[in-house]
Amino acid sequence: MMMFRSTVGACLSLMLVGAAALGSNILDEPKASRSGAADAASLDPWAGTYQDAQVTLELKANPAGGYGGMLRSQDRKYPVAARADGDQLIGAFQSSGGNFGFTATADGNTLKFITGGKTYRLQKQGVNPLGDSSSAANPLAAGASPAGPGPATGARGGAPVGYEVVVATDAGKKLVAHKAEAKSVPIALTTTLQDLARWFDGRPVAKGAFTDAKEHRRGGAPFTAKLNGQSVKGVILCDTGDQGADIAVTYCRADASASEWAKLSGGADASLGAAAPANSIKTETYAFPDGTGTIQLPAGWKTSARTAIQAIVVEGPAGQFVTLGQSSSVNTPDSFIVQNQIKLAANARQMGFPPPKPIEMLVAPYTGPVEALKNLVPQFSKMSQARGGPAITLDNILEPPKPAQAAFPNGQAASVYIAVTHTTSGVATHYRSRAQIETWLIGNGAWSMYLTELAAPDVSFDKDWPVMLAIAQSLKTDPQAVKRASDRALDAQKQNFAAMQRANATRQEAFDGYLKSQQRNSIIRSRSAMDFDEVIRGDRTVEDTRTGERRSVDLGNVDAIVDRLNASDPGRYVQIPLRDEMYPLPPEPNR
């Protein structure tokens, strides 16, 4: 995203800490009502019992909001939970471990009840008690047998009821489903978590849900859970619309490698469009040439990184990139190097000469991560364009930054979620990025910014996020090799710094000599003009070196006058040409 200029990363652990800290946009799980008593009042018209020849629906308002009740059909009963969403009711009923969604709209005393592709028109009336039953398929769906559903299909060897397995490995599965009744991200996520609660050992723990910053119909939530006593982690992605929600659930063993995640990222992704088949997505182990570590790369992803102790940039096949451990040195405006550059430029302008070419460097006051990002993005953009890259614009900070654990004693760290735009040849591409940034003081007017970032085009960010996170978390290092390489890099950095100091001193000396030479040439030109003025004036100054007294004498007789004065006291009287009075000649510059 930023195309940051890189220096040696002194703290390799930040690469992994940053990747682990990159979270999702937090969105609380939807409550039964979003606006308190006002919403509760609006739910009252739904309460009651509705019936036709096949179905009876009983709804009761819950004190906390929403509805509970019972759906009855063919002498069977199914618990119901629902909530009002505008002018319709959205909910689900349970049947033998399955969770089946429905929507309902009211027209006077008639309730239009839709589930599983079938529509029922129920009339509001009294309660009709029913008996018990069990089922594993939606008993009210189009094509369902009136006598009841077929055998259960929700055994753990397959998939939750209503879901299809599109990719399966020894480590996990990818499931897809369509929920016609779920027309918003919160409802889609809530009903999916309810389904998964009956599939896993218990309700999954959603670490936070997110919605697309620009397309609120899309979103998802990462989660952790237990399956047959084993820890798993996964992500739910959904794409909602007027026809309901397309859901994709990917889960894997908690200790699974990036390659296992890459295998599961294939298959038909119902929430984000069709993806490549699982067998077309391969993962390779990339070993850094200096032996400092490895990283897992899915097919189409690449890196030219030579070591794990400096910035690692992994580029994706569609403009995505994962940046681990990018370090940038920044000078404060009052630092010696900045002030010296300003002084050199001012001296040149004063003499009427062009200023020397400035040293390329980042300049900003020391701040925390967010302000540092704002201050430096325009400079990164300028450097990027100078190298033929895109212009970079920070568009927006998409959610409040979250404090993060700093790795340096005086560091400040934060996790940020931002929107940026890259513009190349007038063509703008919108990106989203999750990053962990740390800033810390180095001293002597300098500080550093350290970055770990996962970025992708806005249109594919949600789909790319699990793969990018898996890549970042797959970085493994060899501690002994890292130490050896770090020692070499630090030695080289010290040598480079000493060479930079020498080069700066040489640069300063050369420019000072240049200014002095130009000053001397200017004085010589002025002295020549004074010789002409002296002839026009026709006199010259004669000085008594003993008393300092000066007199003007006729220019045509000055030599004879001075000789006569010095006859009795040699060397006491001297001539002072007008050029020496007005423009004394400075000493020759050192060659």
In this structure, what CATH number is given to the domain that contains residue 105? 2.40.128
519 and 377 belong to one structural domain:
no
428 and 356 belong to one structural domain:
yes
453 and 534 belong to one structural domain:
no
534 and 426 belong to one structural domain:
no
Confirm whether 547 is domain-assigned: yes
Range of the domain at 42: 30-125
What average pLDDT does range 319-344 have in this prediction?
Answer: 87
20 and 116 belong to one structural domain:
no
> What sign does the CA torsion over 531, 533, 534, 536 have?
positive
What would the 3-class secondary structure string for 505-527 be?
A: HHHHHHHHHHHHHHHHHHHHHHH
What average pLDDT does range 56-76 have in this prediction?
Answer: 82
425 and 543 belong to one structural domain:
no
pLDDT band at 118 (very low <50, low <70, confident <90, very high): confident
Taking alpha carbons only, the member of 304, 187, 319 closest to residue 241 is 187
H or E element: which one contains 537?
Answer: helix 479-537
118 against 496, higher pLDDT? 118
Confirm whether 365 is domain-assigned: yes
Confirm whether 216 is domain-assigned: no
Residue 65 has pLDDT above 80, yes or no: no
Of 449, 468, 484, the residue that ends a domain is 484
Specify the pLDDT at position 434.
93
426 and 539 belong to one structural domain:
no
157's tokens: 């060897």
At residue 110, what are phi and psi to the nearest 5 degrees? -100, 130
The residues, ordered by sequence, that sit 6+ positions from 487 with a Cβ below 8 Å of its Cβ are: none
What average pLDDT does range 154-164 have in this prediction?
Answer: 65
- Reported as a single tens digit per residue, the pLDDT across 179-223 is 888 888 888 898 899 889 888 988 898 876 777 666 678 888 899
Q: CA-CA distance, 293 to 475, in Å (whole number)? A: 7
What average pLDDT does range 481-498 have in this prediction?
Answer: 66
436 and 536 belong to one structural domain:
no
Residue 403 has pLDDT above 60, yes or no: yes
13 against 443, higher pLDDT? 443
Of 125, 160, 189, the residue that ends a domain is 125
Of 109, 125, 141, the residue that ends a domain is 125
Burial class (CB in 10 A: 0-12, 13-18, 19+), 377: middle
376 and 410 belong to one structural domain:
yes
pLDDT band at 3 (very low <50, low <70, confident <90, very high): very low
525 and 475 belong to one structural domain:
no
pLDDT band at 430 (very low <50, low <70, confident <90, very high): very high
- Reported as a single tens digit per residue, the pLDDT across 11-56 is 444 444 455 445 333 222 323 322 333 333 333 568 888 888 788 8
Confirm whether 322 is domain-assigned: yes
Residue 124 has pLDDT above 50, yes or no: yes
Domain count, the chain: 3
413 and 536 belong to one structural domain:
no
- Reported as a single tens digit per residue, the pLDDT across 528-537 is 788 778 788 8
Confirm whether 418 is domain-assigned: yes
Cβ distance 68 to 92 under 8 Å?
no
Residue 493 has pLDDT above 90, yes or no: no
Confirm whether 133 is domain-assigned: no
Specify the pLDDT at position 286.
93
292 and 425 belong to one structural domain:
yes
Confirm whether 532 is domain-assigned: yes
**How many of the other CB atoms lie within 10 Å of CB of 567?**
8
Specify the pLDDT at position 339.
85
- Reported as a single tens digit per residue, the pLDDT across 259-297 is 777 777 643 333 323 333 333 346 789 999 988 889 999
Burial class (CB in 10 A: 0-12, 13-18, 19+), 338: middle
365 against 533, higher pLDDT? 365
pLDDT band at 579 (very low <50, low <70, confident <90, very high): confident
Lowest average pLDDT, out of 56-60, 122-126, 398-402, goes to: 122-126
Cβ distance 92 to 99 under 8 Å?
yes
What average pLDDT does range 120-147 have in this prediction?
Answer: 51
Specify the pLDDT at position 507.
64
The CA R_g of the chain, rounded to the nearest whole Å, is: 39
Read off the pTM.
0.44
Cβ distance 138 to 146 under 8 Å?
no
3 state SS of 459: helix
Confirm whether 205 is domain-assigned: no
